[in-house]
Structure 1
Amino acid sequence: METFKQRTDLAFESREIANKDAGREVEGIEYTETILHGVQCRKLRVVSKAGADNIGKPMGAYITLDISALTRRESESFTETVTAMAEILTELAELKNKDLLVLVVGLGNRDITPDAIGPLTAESTLVTRHLKSQMPEDFAFFRPVSVISPGVLGTSGIESADYIKAVCKSLSPDLIIAVDALAAKSFDRLCRTVQITDTGITPGSGVGNSRAQINKETMGVPVIAVGVPTVVDIRTVLAEYWGDSAASERGKNSDMIVTPRSIDSEVSNTSKLVAYAINLALHKGITVEDVDMLVG
């Protein structure tokens, strides 16, 4: 019987699985944990092909933030988390030149709540490209930003990657920030973590429905991916609690996924958090209060 391999889009979970299977720290991975503005950050870097093969993720940096303080309604947690996330985005994207054109892409299906992280984030992202070109003096301190939500293949008949390529051909952005929902292996991480990576993204990979990759190689410009886990594959649940053999035997004919009962409010809150962080990272000098006024 073929052993089931647990599915997750989170790099640090893939490292946990690989280390458990190997009974040791697998090679090719650098891993540290830090605290930034009171937020726990797991920093993982895949530094070799061996490391990429070991955890099944491309070479590059993966930073995961613990945003569980938001669900506990802790004072100042929103501002602190947004600030930490904005700093990480700035570092990974190398956002020093304020005139670089950035394309923000909200991946996913707006009509399916666990998959709506990307489109909802896009709705709260400041769009400034047209304003910069029409009123350059009034918007001198803003970066030119365009936003799209390409939908999904099943509703548009167009691969997200093809849609983005066409837009890139017209706009020639200097950077893409792609936002999408992810899959995790642990319930504790659903809408409780945000992963930011400079390796791009493969939509649907965590639930076995991989689409065309969106990365620097396919788009021609750097791609920063921001992902929030909202679902767990049912076979991964079986493997997590009863072992891989249970997943292989009991879940072999199942393609179910599991999501929290409170997913509506959690997706709404988390997408707002991601959008605010993107806004702060792209437009230096603005505050959370400024974003409230501009997108509210």
Structure 2
Amino acid sequence: MSVADVGEFGLIDRVTARLGQGSACLLGPGDDAAVVSAPDARVVASTDVLVEGRHFRRDWSSALDVGHRAAAANLADVAAMGAVPTALLVALCLPAQVSPDWAEQLADGLGAEAAKVGASVVGGDMSASPTLTVAVTALGDLGGRAPVVRSGARPGDVVALAGRTGYAAAGYTVLSRGFRTPKLLVEAYRRPEVPYSAGPHAARLGATAMIDVSDGLLADLGHVAKASGVRVDVHRAAFEVPRQMRDAAQALGVDPYTWLLAGGDDHALAATFPPAVVLPAPWRPIGRVSAGAGVTVDGARYEGPAGWDHFR
């Protein structure tokens, strides 16, 4: 059976029947639009898209995995603003020959990842397309706080990281070379482990700037440095190379710090804090902000790509 056999509205019924609704959803799928509560009177909004062959491969990842990844990429952006995610809207474009089971499992992954933060999938759209594409829009609530933007870093601030970097990039490299292990790395590529609660926590601690690390730590910190008009220096010694990553790097002939410093898709959160702030777990210091411009590693320019660019 394919989605062509089920039809658009039959597929919508099968997918929406699998989606529970969180407390912020006042009216879910079934009408022309959903209704989501906004206690703060402001709504944080972000959107992201996953395209088959560009962001995922069905022979590498299950539909459940893709659902988790698609949701995580958007939920992390909301958390990086210091907000709590409330809802997701999903647009799904897929070839007519795809099994409806694939779409149902995708919905399960989206719903399960959203449930981690108390959010839910409240609506979306579907269309036939020669390329399987998942586009997600996330909404969030600031809880009365100011958003933590990229332009607030100041000289003297501490650069800190919550979550891990390099794991997903290492997993991607392993898969692209035809291997399926180490499991730790491959699973990190398939389903990121995002420290969602660290975003609002950072806002309460007084973070001056924050960003979701989606394209690579150095590249994303570069956005903070440019927006804030400062220089960000990252300390290489702040990053421990786990055994599985070290072994994979040696076997594949890769410098593991290329993954740690420039690898994306883990969706860690990077933030800057005033030096007087005591950083609780999961935040850990990884560098400093100073006068100047750009991003350096141990005071020197980093040689090599700093992260992912879709058009290069």
* TM-score category, normalised to shorter length: under 0.3
| TM-score (structure 1 length as normaliser) | 0.26
Which structure: larger Rg? 2
Larger helix proportion of the pair: 1
TM-score under structure 2 length normalisation: 0.25
